[in-house]
Amino acid sequence: MIKKMMKKFLSTKNSPFQNEPEQKVFHQQFNGDLQIIEQKLKQAFGNTADLIIENIQFGQKQGLLVYLNTLTDWQVISSKILLPLTEAANQQEQVFTESDWVDFGQETFSGAEHTFIKEEQKIIDDIINGQAVILIEGFISVLSIKVLSFENRGIEEPTTQTIVRGPKEGFIENIQVNLSLIRKKIKNPALRFEAFTVGSETSTSVYLAYMDGIINKKILQEIRKRLNDIQTNAIFDSGMLEEYLVDKTFTPFPLLYNTERPDTIASHLITGKFAIIVDGSPFVLTAPTTFSDFLSVSEDYYQPFLMGSFIRMIRYLSFLIALLLPSFYVAVITFHHEMIPTQLLISIITQREGIPFPAVIEALLMEITFEVLREAGIRMPRAVGGTISIVGGLVIGQAAVEAGIVSNIMVIVVALTAISSFVAPVYSFAVSTRILRFGYIILASILGLYGVFLGMIFLVAHLTSLRSFSVPYLSPIAPFKLQDHGDIFVRVPAWASKKRPSYLQTEKPSKQPDYNTPTPPKKRGGAS
């Protein structure tokens, strides 16, 4: 009954949902009538103050110059459009036919990026994208000239994925700059950029990047299909686009890799993956991705392979500490006292004497407090954010211990867990670890170590079931492929890495030919 009433309400003429303005699309071609097109432009843009429609004189014909002054550079319009038109008028240059107008435009504006269009909807789209259009009475060809002007943030060092050794440049919010940064890294004609437009109301430019002749064609076909099938009203960042591209799987783990680093994206493209660049976002997406991708960074390949392998193993260890340490502490303190050495057990019991809460409440209280401090440090102004988080942690931790709310050992456990969580190179991956940590603490409080191990079994099973564009998330661990383990837990020397990952099924499996490292010169004999 309620459903029928709601359906009837929504179908009535007085429904508030029917009063929303519909987007007007102009499918027909421009017929050369300036009055009609001027009315349509004012109808499409409404009373917006930044729409400029200027009457111009072109020989014996009337014309219109239309642009948005919030997206264009007036100096460029004056020098590249108005000045040539004025000179042509002073020289009394006559244009009689459509072909004369096209020839004049190609000759006069050859120094500017321009094109001729005929569709009315294309005229509106070009104006929105920062173009200036020139319409001449009686001619159906409309000249569109690029005069786009934006204030861009300069290329800076990435803020979320800093490294010690390696390139320091990072992506910015300008998509053309981001494309040029990738092109600068890969000087290869096989690098392809395909343009898409996503968002019915924002018309956000999205580019698909890949290496032709390397990427798996089935994966390329799938990402094209997913991009074309997106139906949404707005896209403002790559994070919003990510939810429309990943498989419908309920998981806390990210299935697309995101980074601010052009060298990382270039490396993934060379490997056989694709990248998604979104206009207005400094974070570029890449896939197919695996679990091991989130525990490796580009700096691993800029350091000697022994050092890179050691640091990578530290990251895996930090992941386990951030995920399991609080739950192990709760399980041992609650159920498994016999696992603790006697002297350490006596010390812990002495510290916990007078604590009013059980270990699980103590752990959850401290973890939630630290998460609040972490979030406050991120959202506060940068000048005081770090101070708030550090001072807040020290003051609250010390005061909680002195007040007898938590023990010293719990503060140490939570602090070590928090530090380990910061080791994760990708923020979205670290967040998934923080979410799962609370679940393991609850399991440990109910079933002890059995609950922790049961949770690990379910976690491995869940990771094994995940796919990123048909590639198993735990590749090459599950399914196990020995030939791909040269770049998972440790990194082999660069000269020994000859094949691309087999789980990507690239068209060109070989990455580089066989190469023998230089051997030291033989010692010469003594002086004769």
For residue 73, give its domain range.
34-146
User: Cα–Cα distance between 501 and 317 in angstroms, integer?
Assistant: 24
Do residues 41 and 125 make contact, with C-beta atoms less than 8 angstroms apart? no
pLDDT for res 162: 84
* Residue 237 and residue 345 share a domain: no
Q: Are residues 241 and 320 in the same domain?
A: no
Do 323 and 263 share a domain, yes or no?
Answer: no
**Do residues 206 and 274 touch, judged by C-beta distance below 8 A?**
no
SS3 state of residue 472 = strand
**Counting beta carbons within 10 angstroms of the beta carbon of residue 445, is it exposed (0 to 12), middle (13 to 18) or buried (19 or more)?**
buried
> What are the pLDDT digits (tens) for 158-209?
888 888 888 889 999 888 899 999 999 999 999 999 999 999 888 899 999 9
Asked whether residue 360 falls in the same domain as residue 224, the answer is no
Based on the fold, state whether residues 322 and 244 are members of the same structural domain: no
**Does one domain contain both 417 and 468?**
yes
Q: Do residue 196 and residue 69 come from a single domain?
A: no
pLDDT value of position 26: 57
- Do residues 321 and 464 both lie within one domain? yes
Same domain, 284 and 311: no
Residue numbers in the chain where pLDDT is lower than 70: 1-27, 88-96, 149-151, 382-394, 524-528
- List C-alpha distances in Å: 249 to 275, 290, 322: 21, 15, 24
Q: Is 130 domain-assigned?
A: yes
Q: Hey, what are 85's tokens?
A: 């038109």
- Give the integer Cα–Cα distance in Å for 153 and 227: 28
Q: Looking at the structure, tell me whether residues 108 and 235 fall in a common domain.
A: no
Phi-psi group of 470: left, alpha or beta (phi > 0 → left; psi -120 to 50 → alpha; rest → beta): left
Q: Beta partners for 284?
A: 259
Considering the domain boundaries, does residue 492 fall inside one? no
Query: How confident is the model at residue 525, as a pLDDT?
Result: 55
Cβ neighbours of 420 (radius 10 Å): 21
Instruction: Output helix, strand, coil percentages for the chain, rounded to the nearest 5.
Output: 50, 15, 35
Cα 277 to Cα 178: distance, rounded to the nearest angstrom: 8
Its pTM surpasses 0.85: no
Q: Up-side HSE of residue 438: CA atoms within 13 Å toward CB?
A: 14
Compute the distance between CA of residue 466 and CA of residue 261 in angstroms, rounded to an integer. Answer: 26
Task: Mark whether 209 and 332 lie in a shared domain.
Answer: no
**Residue 479, preceding bond cis, omega within 30 degrees?**
yes
Q: How many domains does the chain have?
A: 3
pLDDT of 510 reads 86
Last residue of a domain, one of 455, 472, 489: 472
Closest CA to 127 of 77, 187, 61, 198: 77
Same domain, 264 and 311: no
Query: Is 485 within a domain?
Result: no
Is 294 inside any structural domain?
Answer: no
Instruction: Specify whether the CB–CB gap between 507 and 213 falls below 8 A.
Output: yes
In a domain, 404, yes or no: yes
Residue where a domain stops, chosen among 472, 495, 511: 472
